[in-house]
Structure 1
Amino acid sequence: MTLYHCTLTLHDNLFFATREMGILYETEKYLHNWAISYALFKVDYIPQPYRLHGQAAQKPGYLDTNAEQNLLYLNQAGIYVFPAQPLNWSYQVNTFKAAQTTYYGKSKQFGDKGADRNYPINYGRAKELAVGSEYRTYIIAPDRVKIPRWIRLGKWAAKVRVDVIKIPDSVLSVQSGTYRCQHPLNPLDLTADTRLLLYNRIVMPPVSLISQAQLTGDYWQSKPEDWTSLRGQFPHLPESICLPRGAYYGASYVATA
């Protein structure tokens, strides 16, 4: 398996409703690894049904073996994508008018009861990640995996550029013990042998992420001298790498199911 360093650059505003506070719909600054995984590999590795019917059309199937479109196909292909860490980011707040349908609301005209001010009451504000925001993530995959140059993310299918750097095995060492991971992680994807000691929780659907985690288990660590030499060629790389080994989609879920 090979480790890839990826930089994601937003070329459109990126929106997904992490928190809904009244009329404000806020986007978390972190990017969920499950969303990135679908965006990167749904064409070549994850089946794409033409159309879903009934309950299957409304039920998420991330780790459901009965769902035609699930992340377990990437486990079979030996692919895993970590959550994305924000490097440079900013927000843009946009106001939109909410649509009216007969089954949940009644259209209000200007001057009508409940709409006595000079704008409609059926509106919302979306706090979106702005164009130019940059993110870092890592991919564990076979040597000849196909990683697209451009992907689409979020509710509005925002255009995102993907820049990939292949990390040589010679600059990484395998360690075991207690370590601190600066990169965000998905706790549901950590193996049963990995123990979480301390962490900050990032509340976001469908599964909350963690950051600044202290863990015990097997992990990859960059070799200082070799890594410094590699950073001379690729300045976008971080000062060091420390990532858990053996992560795969639903690792903790499968262990407890």
Structure 2
Amino acid sequence: MTNIYRCEIELHDNLYYATREIGRLYETEAILHNYSLCYALGFVDSKKYKTTVDEENSYTYFCAEQIPKYKQHLTFLNQQRIYVTPARSLYHTSVLNTWKYANNNYHVEMEKTQKNIPSFGRNKEIAPESKFECFIISNNSLRKDSASHIWQWKLPKFIRLGKWMSKAEISIQEIHTPQMKNGDFTYIYPLNPLDVMFTNELISYDVVNMPPVSLIKNVTMKGDYYQISLDENSKQLINIPVNMNYRFE
């Protein structure tokens, strides 16, 4: 049985990651990549979700090397039929943070840091209270077995995002009775093109350039899709592609 959940993410701290680098300006796009959400939500290398990876690729706080292993990590989510879509902004504001050394007496010679982390310059970050929205599709229920908990979901109530490990709060809404349909449809949310292009025919879309894989949005495509409504009184219907899987080549 396919379970679909709407996940809303509210920032409690400034969110930063380098989507674009323009000189010494490092800009954060108001979209959360689905790769990062898989890690933040705790789906990767988890006994709870049966996605534990091989020891040499183990995802731990102290990693042997700072090289992402998306293929080795996310392939196990495919086996458990867990998929997270990229998150779009429901509401956001940006703030600009600047670093500079105004006096040569206090000049600091900084070592080269990790990729995508600036040593000096300006960061355009997403401000607290900004909200994002994504969908989680899973064959297994994400509800806890015991109903006595205040937080009824297996997912964490608070997560960390971005280069600064910014705190964010999530809320979950279970979508009931999704309808399966086939034909031409439009999906306005961001998508990872690698995950849908082999199971659906892409007709038109807008590209969002961001690492590690550029996303697409306002997508018109042809294929199987779920049609859902966020509540009983809502007239707006949302179409979500079927058979999305993490692909890397």
Q: Is the 8 A contact 2:3 2:141 kept in 1?
A: no
Instruction: Please list, as runs of the form range in 1=range in 2, the aligned pairs for 1:201-212 lying within 5 A after superposition.
Output: 201-212=207-218
Q: Which residue of 1 aligns with 2:145?
A: none
Counterpart-to-counterpart distance in 2, 1:14 and 1:62: 22
Instruction: Please list, as runs of the form range in 1=range in 2, the aligned pairs for 1:149-168 lying within 5 A after superposition.
Output: 149-168=157-176
RMSD: 2.3
Q: Is the 8 A contact 2:78 2:246 kept in 1?
A: yes
Choose 33-42 or 205-214, whichever is displaced more.
33-42
Cα distance 1:17–1:238, how it changes in 2: closer, same or farther (>3 A)?
farther
Counterpart-to-counterpart distance in 2, 1:7 and 1:176: 27
Residues 208-257 of structure 1 show CA distances to partners (whole Å, capped at 9, x for unaligned) of 000100001110113xxxx47x344xxxx89221010000111xx4xxx5
Note the residue ranges of structure 1 that are not aligned, 5 or more in a row.
105-121
SS at 2:17's partner residue? Answer: coil
Cα distance 1:50–1:128, how it changes in 2: closer, same or farther (>3 A)?
closer
Q: Counterpart amino acid of 2:240?
A: L
Q: Which residue of 1 aligns with 2:146?
A: none
Q: Is the 8 A contact 2:15 2:125 kept in 1?
A: yes
SS at 1:35's partner residue? Answer: helix
Q: Which residue of 2 aligns with 1:11?
A: 12
CA apart distance, 1:101: 3.6
Q: Which residue of 1 aligns with 2:87?
A: 84
Choose 91-100 or 42-51, whichever is displaced more.
42-51
Identity of aligned residues (%): 38
SS at 2:31's partner residue? Answer: coil
Q: 2:109 aligns with which of 75, 100, 115?
A: 100
Q: Which residue of 2 aligns with 1:107?
A: none
Q: Which runs of 4+ in 1 moved over 4 A?
A: none
Q: Counterpart amino acid of 1:175?
A: K
Counterpart-to-counterpart distance in 2, 1:15 and 1:190: 27
SS at 1:13's partner residue? Answer: coil
Counterpart-to-counterpart distance in 2, 1:97 and 1:14: 21
Larger Rg: 1
Q: Which residue of 2 aligns with 1:240?
A: 237
Cα distance 1:102–1:96, how it changes in 2: closer, same or farther (>3 A)?
closer
Q: Counterpart amino acid of 2:168?
A: V
1:32 aligns with 2:41: no
SS at 2:237's partner residue? Answer: coil
Q: Is the 8 A contact 1:181 1:213 kept in 2?
A: yes
Q: Which residue of 2 aligns with 1:133?
A: 130
SS at 1:15's partner residue? Answer: coil
Residues 104-148 of structure 1 show CA distances to partners (whole Å, capped at 9, x for unaligned) of 9xxxxxxxxxxxxxxxxx831100000010111000113433221
Instruction: Please list, as runs of the form range in 1=range in 2, the aligned pairs for 1:171-210 lying within 5 A after superposition.
Output: 172-190=178-196, 192-210=198-216
Q: Is the 8 A contact 1:92 1:128 kept in 2?
A: yes
Counterpart-to-counterpart distance in 2, 1:129 and 1:238: 31
Counterpart-to-counterpart distance in 2, 1:77 and 1:2: 13
